[in-house]
């Protein structure tokens, strides 16, 4: 199972329209990504809440189609 980089970006963008997103395919296998996301939606939220926002934008794909996504969130 794998997921396309553009697809990940689109899901996040749909949920967080103002987000600046930088995604890297870490292993080149379509399975291990890292994402840096800057959004105003993270303001005043704990890290756990921020990551949950990103996970929920991926609509259940995290942990299934998408094996590994390292997330770094920053408030805009």
Partner 1 sequence: MNENTKNTIDEEIKKNDVCLFMKGTPDAPQCGFSMAVSNMLKILDVKFKGVNVLENQELREGIKTFSEWPTIPQLYLKGEFIGGCDIIKEMFESKELHKILKDKSIEYKEKN
Chain residues that interact with partner 1, rule: CB under 8 A: 47-48, 51-52, 55, 60, 62-63, 68, 70-72
Residue 40 or 74: the one with the smaller Cβ distance to partner 1 is: 74
Cβ 6 to partner 1 shortest distance, Å? 21
Q: What is the rounded distance in angstroms from the CA atom of residue 30 to the CA atom of residue 21?
A: 17
CB of 67 to partner 1, least distance (A): 9
Of the pair 25, 72, the CB lying nearest partner 1 is at 72
């Amino acid at each position: 199972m794998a997921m396309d980089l553009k697809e990940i970006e689109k899901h996040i963008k749909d949920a967080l329209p103002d987000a600046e997103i930088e995604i890297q395919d870490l292993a080149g296998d379509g399975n291990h990504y890292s994402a840096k996301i800057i959004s105003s939606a993270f303001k005043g939220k704990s890290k756990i809440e921020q990551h949950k926002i990103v996970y929920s934008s991926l609509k259940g794909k995290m942990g299934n189609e998408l094996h590994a996504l390292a997330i770094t969130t920053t408030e805009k």
